């Protein structure tokens, strides 16, 4: 975090310096920027964190990138002072959000209406991939190639790697000198890069549409904006899970929420995961932690499946729910195998049950909706 006196350098979204490969002409500063005066105070809101040194800001109706070490979530608001005019104005940060709570609530308000399940994004990629320019196809292929497979999740190291690269810990990784070189493998990092490429490609198409009718006729103008919307919704979903995983003064335990995409050949399943540290249980010798792990996923031919595991020391309690009758019967008939596997890995007298339908809903982990709605008129 930098001090409020830090000066930041801005540039308009879509300028040539953002994407030197394309050699496009810098776009002209809009009238609103040309009208800025030295000493003028501006109100800015964060759209998203593009990298560990770049924020995408919205000031009025204009979007700019800001080179700064400041790390703020989308929705956060700050005040800036103009200290130099021009095509790339210099701005000085004079006010940051008042508190973490205010920043988190602002970010939640920003993310909630935009977010959508990651499964929506991967479904969209199947449809538009072949219609994308090569640079975007490569980014999509890199995104999909880096996903964990079902085989990867059969061992503890594979699970640890998948969780670490799920996007939930992206910001902590870019601030950790030991992990910053591996941040390119992170799901959120890849989505941020894809979003940036889509934004620039979308701008390029709009600029070329009036200059080259042939390009306009040949290009699938709907594919890129549609994919951009899905990518931004996926990023909002990851951010929403991150915000709801932050410690709360009213909570006595820590919870982590994430969505984990897992590939199986050409198919990608998305597992919703909640890991919760429960209150400690006292024993005669020492206190031991109990963890609950909740999973929800949909598999082809099996329908929706839910699971909850409670782990404490060498004890495990597992409850499974299947919404499809045939899936329930399949699991019920093979519970003995699951019991045997749990016993093989040294769990003592595992308790495993299966139910038909859905588990009872638990209290929402989202922030209080009353805090997210501004009712002032």
Is 70 exceeded by the pLDDT of residue 280? no
Please tell me the distance from the alpha carbon of residue 185 to that of residue 164, in angstroms, as a whole number: 10
Please tell me the distance from the alpha carbon of residue 125 to that of residue 123, in angstroms, as a whole number: 5
At 362, is the pLDDT very low, low, confident or very high (cuts 50, 70, 90)?
low
Please tell me the distance from the alpha carbon of residue 170 to that of residue 160, in angstroms, as a whole number: 15
The 10s digit of each residue's pLDDT in 208-226 is 655 555 444 444 567 888 8
What average pLDDT does range 51-57 have in this prediction? 78
The region of weakest confidence among 19-23, 91-95, 180-184, 187-191 is: 19-23
- Beta carbons of 272 and 295 less than 8 angstroms apart: yes
For domain 283-356, give its CATH number from 3.90.1150.10, 3.40.50.2300, 3.30.750.140, 3.40.50.1820: 3.30.750.140
Please tell me the distance from the alpha carbon of residue 12 to that of residue 161, in angstroms, as a whole number: 37
The mean pLDDT value of the chain amounts to 77
Is 50 exceeded by the pLDDT of residue 276? yes
Cα dist from 158 to 150, 165, 232, 305, 309, whole Å: 9, 11, 27, 22, 19
| Tokens standing for residue 181 | 């070189």
- Beta carbons of 194 and 139 less than 8 angstroms apart: yes
- Beta carbons of 109 and 372 less than 8 angstroms apart: yes
Structure confidence at residue 73 (pLDDT)? 73
The region of weakest confidence among 55-59, 171-175, 324-328, 368-372 is: 368-372
Among 355, 360, 278, 367, CA closest to 315:
278
CATH fold label, 7-111: OB fold (Dihydrolipoamide Acetyltransferase, E2P) (2.40.50)
Among all chains, which residue has been given the structure tokens 């959120």?
188
What average pLDDT does range 231-253 have in this prediction? 80
Q: Give helix 187-209 / helix 223-243 axis angle, nearest 10°.
A: 150
Any idea what DSSP says for residue 285? S
- Beta carbons of 77 and 43 less than 8 angstroms apart: yes
The region of weakest confidence among 214-218, 280-284, 372-376 is: 372-376
Provide the 3-class DSSP secondary structure of residue 310: strand
Strand-strand pairing, 90-95 and 255-264: unpaired
At 358, is the pLDDT very low, low, confident or very high (cuts 50, 70, 90)?
very high
Structure confidence at residue 33 (pLDDT)? 78
Show me where the domains of the chain are located.
Answer: 7-111, 118-243, 283-356
Structure confidence at residue 221 (pLDDT)? 60
Please tell me the distance from the alpha carbon of residue 149 to that of residue 224, in angstroms, as a whole number: 27
DSSP H helices in the chain = 31-34, 100-111, 118-128, 134-145, 156-164, 170-174, 187-209, 213-218, 223-243, 325-333, 335-344, 369-372
The 10s digit of each residue's pLDDT in 6-48 is 556 666 554 323 333 233 333 345 557 778 888 888 888 888 7
- H or E, element range at 309: strand 303-312
Is 70 exceeded by the pLDDT of residue 82? yes
């Amino acid at each position: 975090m930098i001090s409020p006196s830090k000066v930041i350098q801005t540039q308009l979204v879509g300028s040539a310096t953002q994407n030197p490969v394309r050699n496009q002409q810098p776009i002209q500063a809009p009238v609103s920027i040309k009208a800025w005066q030295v000493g003028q105070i501006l109100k800015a809101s964060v759209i998203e964190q593009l990298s560990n040194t770049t924020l995408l800001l919205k000031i009025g109706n204009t979007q700019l990138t800001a080179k700064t070490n400041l790390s703020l979530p989308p929705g956060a608001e700050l005040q800036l002072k103009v200290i130099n005019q021009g095509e790339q104005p210099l701005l000085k940060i004079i006010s940051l959000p008042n508190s973490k709570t205010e920043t988190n609530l602002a970010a939640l308000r920003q993310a909630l209406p935009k977010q959508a399940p990651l499964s929506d994004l991967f479904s969209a990629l199947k449809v538009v991939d072949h219609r994308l320019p090569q640079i975007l196809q490569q980014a999509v292929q890199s995104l999909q190639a880096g996903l964990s497979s079902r085989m990867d999740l059969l061992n503890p190291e594979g699970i640890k790697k998948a969780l670490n690269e799920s996007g939930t810990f992206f910001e902590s990784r870019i601030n950790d000198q030991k992990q910053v070189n591996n941040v390119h493998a992170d799901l959120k990092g890849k989505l941020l890069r894809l979003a940036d490429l889509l934004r620039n490609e979308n701008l390029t198409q709009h600029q070329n549409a009036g200059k080259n009718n042939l390009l306009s006729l040949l290009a699938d103008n709907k594919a890129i904006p549609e994919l951009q919307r899905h990518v931004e919704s996926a990023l909002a979903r990851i951010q929403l899970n991150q915000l709801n995983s932050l410690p709360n003064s009213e909570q006595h335990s820590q919870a982590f929420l994430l969505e984990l995409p897992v590939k199986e050949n050409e198919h990608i399943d998305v597992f919703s995961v909640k890991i919760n540290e429960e209150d400690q249980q006292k024993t005669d010798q020492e206190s031991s932690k109990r963890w609950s792990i909740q999973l929800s996923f949909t598999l082809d031919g099996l329908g929706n499946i839910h699971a909850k595991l409670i782990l404490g020391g060498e004890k495990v309690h597992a409850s499974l729910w299947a919404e499809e009758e045939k899936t329930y019967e399949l699991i019920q008939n093979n519970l003995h195998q699951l019991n045997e596997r749990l016993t093989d890995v040294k769990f003592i007298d595992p308790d495993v049950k299966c139910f038909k339908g859905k588990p009872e809903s638990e209290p929402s982990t989202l922030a209080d909706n009353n805090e997210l709605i501004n009712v002032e008129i």
